[in-house]
Amino acid sequence: MTTNAQSTPSFAVHIPDAELEAEPLDPAQIVSGAPVVTGKVLWESADGKQVRGIWQITPGVVTDTEANELFVVVSGRATIEVEGGAVIEVGPGDAAVLREGDRTTWTVHETLRKAYHISL
C-alpha cells in the first residue's frame, strides 16, 4: 500500500497485526543467525524523499548503513551498535533516531517490529 500525500486520506493501522511482505536481506549484511526481514510502506511522498512504514526483523546479527530515521519499537528487543558511537538498547515503547550514513550492527534478541519515518 504505497500511497502519496495528495491521494491518501488520514488512516490508522494496528501495527502488531499488520501483514508485512518479504524484504530479502543482502547475505553480506548477515553476521550470524538467519534473520528474516519483512516490511510494509504505509506512505511515501510524491518525490520519494519521505517514507513511513512498518519493519520487522527476526533474531540474528546484521550490519546496515542507516538513513535519517526516527522509529518507535512496538515489540521485540535489539542492541544497535553505532560504529565509533553509541550502543543503543531498544525495546517496546522506545523511540530512536539514527543518522544518515551511520554504520550499525543490529543484534536482534527477540523479533523486533517498529514503525518508522525515513527522510532521504
**Ranges of each domain in the chain:** 15-119
The pLDDT of residue 5 is above 90: no
Non-local CB neighbours of 39 within 8 Å, separated by 6+ positions: 20, 21, 23, 53, 54, 55, 56
Q: What percent of the chain has pLDDT over 90?
A: 93
Q: Name every residue whose Cβ is closer than 8 Å to that of residue 116 and which is 6 or more positions away in sequence.
A: 51, 52, 53, 54, 55, 69, 70, 71, 72
Confidence of residue 4 (pLDDT cuts 50, 70, 90): low
Mean pLDDT over the full length of the chain: 95
Q: What percent of the chain has pLDDT over 70?
A: 95
CATH of domain 15-119: 2.60.120.10
Model confidence over 37-79: pLDDT tens digits? 999 999 999 999 999 999 999 999 999 999 999 999 999 999 9
pLDDT at 3: 52
Global pTM reads 0.92
